[in-house]
Amino acid sequence: MTQLPDSMGRFGDFGGKFVPEALQAALSELAEEFTKAASDPTFAHELHRLQRDYSGRPTPITVAENFSKQCGNATIYLKREDLNHTGAHKINNVLGQALLTKRMGKTRVIAETGAGQHGVATATAAALLGLECRVYMGEVDTQRQALNVARMQLLGAEVIAVAAGSRTLKDAMNEAMREWVSTVETTHYLIGTVGGPHPFPWLVRELQRVISTEARAQMIADHGGLPDHVAACVGGGSNAIGMFADFIDDPSVALHGFEAAGEGIDTTRHAATITAGRPGVLHGARTYVLQDEDGQTIDSHSISAGLDYPGVGPEHAWLASSGRATYEPVTDAEAMTAFRALTRTEGIIPAIESAHAVAGAQRLGLRLAQEQPDLRPKILVCLSGRGDKDVGTAFEWFKMSGRPDAVVGGTE
Amino acid sequence: MSRFADVDRLGISGKVLAAAVDEGRAALVAYLPLGYPSVDDSVAAFRALTDGVGADVVEIGVPYSDPVLDGEVIQHATTKALRRGVRVRDAFLAAEAVASGGRTPVVMTYWNLVEQYGADRFARDLAAAGGAGVVTPDLTPDQADEWIAASDAHGLDRIFLVAPSSSEERLAMTMRACRGWVYATSVMGVTGTRTQTSDAAPVIVDRARRADPSLPVGVGLGVSNADQAAEVAAYADAVIVGSALLKCLASDGADMPGDLDRLRGLVDKLAEGVRRGRG
């Protein structure tokens, strides 16, 4: 199973390289360079050093004992990717690709970003490694996320608003790809997810694999063995593929991806690509796509910007069609309920993306308690990021006033 | 006698290009997006490309929501066309209009649209409408088994792209898979007008010919006036013009008669340019 993708970048019927000929040489170079790097101890050593000394790996597993009480008979284990530098798993991928950029003798990176998390991570790695950095961001997103625009600029990156198409993440990806066609000699496209043309889905998986490599060893060493279930949220799917990778060959471990159902999959406002999309080609790969009858991409919606994407990494499409992993939708409302529950019971504010996985794990725990009441299942959840960035959204969702609960010490 | 001896390789549109070369000139391939400013107006514009001396081959661009190889001018038009309701099947109307004007229509489309329509069904319907073939900007021959089968079944041309960055191996593989002609992207970049065409263009044309001399080579990306057309015609078998033609439709439908006059005027100049190139 882990032999995939094949040499053409295919995962069964999914994946591949549906890109202009002008990019084929760069993609081949990237695949060759990563193959060499992967077996080069110097590269592995440098990456490991950065993961440990810069990003703070290994990240711990926290047993969510309080929250587990709301999850039937299950015990919830949280893989704490939120404790990484920059607050999410994104840094795992970015550090690896930035090192690869230097290895290829390139001096500049470009990236796409939705809400800005991948853009900030890319700008961070670029600052650290002395690379020029340009981030493409949908115009709508630059307006919604002005603080992240400022963060990227503070880090020395140039932020370009994309005013084409729907002016969101998918258009930022188009623009980055479009720029890359003309700057490929000096520039690496540092893609943020396990989507896009080969070799990106493979390369990003290998860089995110560290999540499951660590978690699998931690579960065995500290928590009595393999988990029964592994859960992660899926937008493009990079944290999920990293969380699944080393468990794919463990047949006793069930894999669960949770997609953003937005306002519900029976509405037009969701991002549940596998649940409600159909196979097609988007951003260079064959995968599940939210599309109309003609094959035009439909705008997605999720309260979580990181899951608001109308495609999904091709390996997830393959895992879904082969049945090795199952994918279920989680609505905005379910995610926000879990967001608050985890915050209150564990003192951990999850990213709203990760809250989808938390909600899914809770639903799974409750379902198992009904179906198999004798089981005491262990559910390992990828807590892919921290929720500091989402306080504004929570403020609106929970209709908070921002007023203190009381005032003391006044003399008037 | 033509230097393109293998008529099977020329398919339908390649014969048109070869005939132009036999006349001692380059062919003119004129691109416009379908459905802009509206479906009906775009069909009128496609027909205008066939008026007078006109274009030899007309390239019908099907709007797509995520067009990675289109520059800003084309993308803005195709975004509007999509908002105004253009459908993939409208390409067959445009092909009929061009064919009835006595010129050769080819369709340029991103792959997902063909895949969703059904590759075989798309090829069948395009052939029935008088279409000659398809230019596939994001489909390369190594991913194209389904398209190769469908285009063979319905006798359509397959126009793949080559680029300055293509390796010798990929050039040879791409040329082998083409029928009709090959589309050489002359600069490392997306579509759009430029003040100067690239130095890389003659090099890629020469490399493509050396890889396979039996196919005409068209050069796209960057040509906007008669002088540039003449410059490219000096070494290419076909000159492809897109964004500059689209700019003639600047009224966004408010003044179609004026826009179509401008369009015919530019096509006349470009047609003169491709005839001057080897004069």
Rounded to a whole number of angstroms, the distance from the CA of A218 to the nearest CA of chain B is 41
B162: closest chain A residue by CA: A21
| pLDDT, tens only, A31-57 | 999 999 999 999 999 999 999 999 999
Rounded to a whole number of angstroms, the distance from the CA of B276 to the nearest CA of chain A is 30
Half-sphere exposure of A405 (CA within 13 A, CB side): 0
Q: What's the pLDDT band for B217 if we cut at 50, 70, 90?
A: very high
Residue B55, in any domain of the structure: yes
Residue B62, in any domain of the structure: yes
Q: What's the pLDDT band for B197 if we cut at 50, 70, 90?
A: low
Interface contact flag, B143 A16, Cβ < 8 Å: yes
The yes/no answer on whether domain A11-52+90-204 falls in CATH 3.40.50.1100 is yes
Residue B142, in any domain of the structure: yes
pLDDT for the residue A259: 98
- Burial of B99: CB neighbours in 10 Å, binned 0-12, 13-18, 19+: middle
Interface contact flag, A181 B190, Cβ < 8 Å: yes
Is the predicted pLDDT of residue B279 greater than 90, yes or no? no
Residue B172, in any domain of the structure: no
Query: How far apart are the C-alpha atoms of A10 and B91, rounded to whole Å?
Result: 31
B87: closest chain A residue by CA: A294
Residue positions of A annotated with a catalytic role? 90, 112, 384
Give the per-residue SS3 of A277-291: CEEEEECCEEEEECE
A279: closest chain B residue by CA: B116
- Most A CBs within 10 Å, among B78, B145, B165, to test the A interface: B165
Task: Reply yes or no on whether B40 is catalytic.
Answer: no
Interface contact flag, B64 A296, Cβ < 8 Å: yes
Contacts with A, B 113-172, CB within 8 Å? 113, 115-117, 137-140, 142-143, 160-167, 170
The answer to whether A177 faces chain B, any CB pair under 8 Å, is yes
Is the predicted pLDDT of residue A141 greater than 70, yes or no? yes
Residue B261, in any domain of the structure: yes
Interface contact flag, B115 A295, Cβ < 8 Å: yes
Provide the CATH number for the domain around residue B146. Answer: 3.20.20.70
Q: Do domains A11-52+90-204 and A57-87+209-397 have the same CATH topology?
A: yes
Residue B154, in any domain of the structure: yes
- Each domain of chain A, given as residue ranges in start order, spans 11-52+90-204, 57-87+209-397
Q: Domain of residue B241: give its range.
A: 7-159+223-271
- Architecture of the domain whose range is A57-87+209-397: 3-Layer(aba) Sandwich (3.40)
Query: How far apart are the C-alpha atoms of B30 and B46, rounded to whole Å?
Result: 9
Domain count, chain B: 1
Is the predicted pLDDT of residue B192 greater than 70, yes or no? no
Q: What's the predicted TM-score (pTM) here?
A: 0.95
Residue B215, in any domain of the structure: no
- Burial of A293: CB neighbours in 10 Å, binned 0-12, 13-18, 19+: exposed
Strands of the sheet containing A132-138, edge to edge, are A158-162, A132-138, A108-113, A187-189
| pLDDT, tens only, B27-76 | 999 999 999 999 999 999 999 999 988 999 999 999 999 998 888 899 99
pLDDT for the residue A43: 97
